[in-house]
Amino acid sequence: MSSQIDHLLDETRKFPPSEDFVAQSISSPELYERAAADREAFWGEQSRELLHWHKPFTRVLDWSAPPFAKWFDDGELNVAYNCLDRHVEAGNGDRVALHWEGEPGDSRTITYAELTDEVKRVANVLTDLGIGHGDRVAIYLPMIPEAIASMLAVARLGAIHSVVFGGFSADSLRARIDDAGAKVVITADGGYRKGRVSALKPAVDQALGDRGDGEQQTVEHVLVVRRGGNEVDWVEGRDVWWHDAVPAASAEHVAEAFPSENPLYILYTSGTTGKPKGILHTSGGYLTQAAYSHKYVFDLHPETDVFWCTADIGWVTGHSYVAYGPLANGATQVLYEGTPDAPHPGRWWEIIEKYKVSIFYTAPTAIRSFMKIGRAVPQKFDLSSLRLLGSVGEPINPEAWMWYREVIGGNKAPIVDTWWQTETGAIMVSALPGVTSTKPGSAQVPLPGISIDVVDEQGAEVGNGNGGLLVITEPWPSMLRGIWGDPERYKETYWEKFEDQGYYFAGDGARLDDDGDLWLLGRVDDVMNVSGHRLSTAEIESSLVAHEATAEAAVVGAADETTGQAVVAFVIIKESYLAAHDPAGLAQLLRLWVGEQIGAIARPRDVYIVGELPKTRSGKIMRRLLRDVAEGREVGDTTTLADTAVMSIISAQVK
Ligand code: 6R9
């Protein structure tokens, strides 16, 4: 790791924005000045400018009971109205909201007027299914227009959605449905992935099936979109076809105003313990910063730009930069159902050419896998429409950054590397194109209105040229309002570490270079980042030990050329299991087991069956040493181990 950091800090290339870009850019240095002069007034101004408030707010921030913030809290708005109706009322109903592209090549173009109509119908259907203000709705859908319509319909009713990534297993879905107490699940029969229909409804059926623990489950209805055309089981009275209910519903629906702090959604993310955290976001502040960041970071010209964020709606990036930010700003965007390489490795570039995408936002892991295939593939397509590129999810190494700039951006499109988290709700750190000279590998500077610092373990500023922990020093509009049902965990996880200073602890290591630009150095806790997705070591360990063969397990994130980090597991097998079973194929069995338990993204790259795990005298597993083994390095300092011989035994077993 440290050699990698040194290498990063040797990076001195800088790319100032071109004159042409500056001339048309909506940002200017004045934005920073206004925010610095009066932060709260700045956010108040932004919110009034970007959103329609049914009842205007008179207070910007109430921080009288930290860490529980209230933004714009005496104002009232409707999130869906802001994303839909007001654009139609302003005469932009014919503007394309979604250019949707199915994986097999089918496509649909949906205008703002059409999407508004659809959302009103879905809102009426959900009302009929018993959903009202404050109820929870789980959404387990592929990347189809109905996914966006579902989120907005839930928001329109003042209800709360919990989108669960379609790649998650029935068990993961069940845990999220239970934790939120969802009343309705919206799903599909299946969706297209890698050239085949991948079924979704069976996982919902399984999640809602008898759990054998006598617990009442909360779901009353399942609304099912037909997409894959695959056969599905049907529960009469519980299941409703979308294509029966939605077209038959009325397209009249008046958006009611809700208080600014009305909960909007829960999104589960991995923490340092096994149980995922239900991150809670509310309405007015969240939508303000989603719209603001989308507008300025992406230099959005809604009349002419075509925006494409490749994230799935199951992740926060899909919430803020597929659903809420772009729609609040009246943008035209691309929504793609499938994988980047189906049916051919140039699929993404073909889509950019087809829709003349001008702003493209994706993750470093995708860029690295395209680099591996080679530039000949993208070079077959006309990518000249691209004028701005974005990156999110993990640090982007300078090599990948340069490749992205040259091969995809034609050496002209600025790249914005955006740092943020599920918890922050929206982008916090990024260059402003048209203002900032960009630097390969650095996420650079906090957005106007955002206060970030790098501090040491005691909370003291480290200053330029030094590394430490990234903190957010002032509340921000789209900050999480808590962890669903667990206020204590919220305080402990994010606020306890720097309680005296009142800083939010992000869990990331960072460094400030001599210019004061930020370099993100990865998580400092037991959270891994695999292809830009957060996974917790504890969650995968508990899944491994849930298998009858496993006595003990330790999981580490090991550096991986394509995925950033990869899951590597070290497992001790029970004597009793070995006595009765053939150990051949056991590693593969456990890999698949984790995939079934959590989802394919959590499946370990390697499972090593070992006899012992390295532990300190107090019994803590020393993952640092296992990481050395997993990354094929000389094993580090073992002096604090209870048994110092253990590492040589493990190294031998792994070879
Ligand atoms: C938006 C999103 C958050 C974690 C975060 C950090 C890493 C995200 C990054 C980045 C370096 C960037 N991360 N963006 N690291 N540079 N531009 O990814 O949310 O899934 O909650 O992950 O991802 O470690 O703490 P989430």
CA of 505 to the centre of ligand 1 (A): 14
**pLDDT for the residue 137:** 98
Closest ligand 1 atom, CA of 417?
17
Task: Give the neighbor-by-neighbor strand order of the sheet with 306-309.
Answer: 107-111, 96-101, 332-336, 306-309, 359-362, 388-392, 415-418
Mutation probe of ligand 1 site: the residue of 322, 368, 392 with most atoms within 8 A of C-beta: 392
Closest CA to 389 of 373, 401, 377: 401
Distance between start and end Cα atoms, the chain: 22
**pLDDT for the residue 3:** 43
Q: Where are the alpha helices (DSSP H) in 495-615?
A: 537-545, 575-580, 586-597
In order of 106, 165, 347, 414, 654, the CA distances from 342 in angstroms are 13, 19, 6, 28, 35
**Phi–psi pair at 109, nearest 5 degrees:** -110, 125
Paired strand residues for 138: 162, 185
Closest ligand 1 atom, CA of 507?
25
Reported as type and span, the H/E element at residue 483 is strand 482-483
Q: Which residue ranges of the chain lie beneath pLDDT 70?
A: 1-11, 214, 272-274, 618-619
In order of 585, 606, 625, the CA distances from 651 in angstroms are 20, 14, 10
Closest ligand 1 atom, CA of 522?
24
Closest ligand 1 atom, CA of 533?
20
> ipTM of this model?
1.00
DSSP secondary structure letter of residue 517: -
Closest ligand 1 atom, CA of 396?
16
What residue numbers does the annotated binding site for Mg(2+) cover? Answer: 545, 547
**pLDDT for the residue 618:** 65
Token pair belonging to 345: 């490795």
Note the pTM of the prediction, 2 decimals. Answer: 0.91
**pLDDT for the residue 7:** 54
CA of 623 to the centre of ligand 1 (A): 22
CA of 155 to the centre of ligand 1 (A): 25
Which residue has the CA at smallest separation from atom 22 of ligand 1? 421
Which residue has the CA at smallest separation from atom 19 of ligand 1? 421
CA of 395 to the centre of ligand 1 (A): 8
Per DSSP, the three-state class of 113 is: helix
Which amino acid appears at position 64 of this protein? Answer: S
**pLDDT for the residue 634:** 86
C-beta of residue 649 within 8 angstroms of C-beta of residue 612: yes
CA of 532 to the centre of ligand 1 (A): 7
Residues with CB under 6 A from ligand 1: 269, 315-317, 392-395, 417-422, 443, 506-508, 520, 523, 529, 532, 534
Which residue has the CA at smallest separation from atom 2 of ligand 1? 421
CA of 261 to the centre of ligand 1 (A): 25
